[in-house]
Amino acid sequence: MTELPKKILIAEDDPASCKILKTLFSKWDFDVLTASDGSEAWEIFKTDADIHFILSDWMMPEVDGVELCRRVRSVKGRRYTYFILLTAKSQIEDVVSGLEAGADDFVTKPFNQYELRVRLRAGERVINLENELASKVEQLSKASKQMRRDLAAAATMQRGMLPPETGELEGMIYSSRYIPSEEVGGDLFNLVKLDETRLGIYILDVSGHGVPAALLSVAMGRMLSTYDLHASLLLAPDQPDENSPIIPPREVADRLNQRFQSASSKGDFITFLYGVLDLDKCTFTYTRAGHPSPLLLSGKVVQDIKDKGDIPIGIVPQYEFGENVIKLKPGDRLFLFTDGLTEAANEVRERFNEGRMLDHIEATSGIDLEESVRSLVEKVLAWGNKPTLSDDMSILAIEIKCDCKSD
């Protein structure tokens, strides 16, 4: 329990009344400050942040009790001060004007010391409650600041799992954007070198957003890397195959599905697209688990891929995922994205939709890949025209630059 307040400021222009009040309060173990008028009381109040009570006469020269109360209430960011007006006024309009100025209580002259003590005890309870509330607010503020720091650290860690926005690898270039709806999000994508001529490329979207979705996406991202071969789902170097240690996309999806079955029991699911880009043969072999289909720009036209999609990760155990193959040629562009782009809605709840996205990709086929991606994201954000996003947005686009060998 907070210690009871002990400091009181008396504002009284009558010396006899002031002396009586000071004697009473000292007897009641208060630390007493006195002022001969409202102006002096105001100066004392401004310099002493530990004043818990003010007992002020109503009628005083220069600054009266009501004006003093009004000034006290105008000060922000300090402990609450319980204000009692001492007055001979008893008309209802006078009481109302005092309350409107911010007074907590009234004591009429001539005052009764026992009544005054009871009113002070009521004020002490109010002050204690105010102090407890202020302490709780301070604790919440500290917790909120710590949470913001933790979120900033989590956001930094999550962005550290993403590739640089643009890059060039042997045989291809890429451009990407990641825009979470909160500090952290459920989208994740990356390009992972599997061997000299093949890359693993994935993009995933955990339902929901914020910390829960981010934790799940980060857990999946660790498995979809080659830093720790014992934890990686992309390579099996300890189980050499006659062709390659690279795990096929359908098997990667199957292993993720087995490990994240608990997600669906909590109402979550994961859309996932993973493929192996073979820069020697110019093929992209992929599995699509509930995720939007990739878009292939060949020349100036987006091609109709007509792939077979499967259900999201974590829905049905022992599900058999399939694979699709896209044949590429130099100059082709492949766009992987999350539905936050196509489902971005404007003020009348009209979605940006895939049709507008296709039109933009075709219209920007003659410019650099980076500029095409940048302008697309800007167009989607302008379409939504909101200070905060309703869903995370991610896009990863690649362009083939190498010569392809025939099968």
Per-position DSSP letters for 7-63, written without gaps between them: EEEEE-S-HHHHHHHHHHHHHTT-EEEEESSHHHHHHHHHH-TT--EEEEES--SSS
Q: For the chain, give every residue range classified as CATH 3.60.40.10.
A: 161-400
Stretches in the chain below the pLDDT threshold 50: 1-2, 4
Distance CA 308, CA 320 (A): 13
Tokens for 347? 């003020």
Distance CA 230, CA 238 (A): 9
* CATH 3.60.40.10 for domain 161-400: yes
Distance CA 227, CA 234 (A): 11
- pLDDT number for residue 2: 46
Per-position DSSP letters for 104-159, written without gaps between them: -EEEESSPPHHHHHHHHHHHHHHHHHHHHHHHHHHHHHHHHHHHHHHHHHHHHHHH
Q: Are 344 and 380 in contact (CB under 8 A)?
A: yes
**CA–CA distance from 34 to each of 37, 78, 123, 188 (Å)?**
9, 20, 19, 66
Q: Name the H helices within 187-301.
A: 211-223, 249-259, 262-265
- pLDDT number for residue 1: 42
Span between the terminal Cα atoms of the chain, in Å? 81
CATH fold of 7-137 reads Rossmann fold (3.40.50)
CB hemisphere CA count around 183 (13 angstroms): 12
- pLDDT number for residue 151: 61
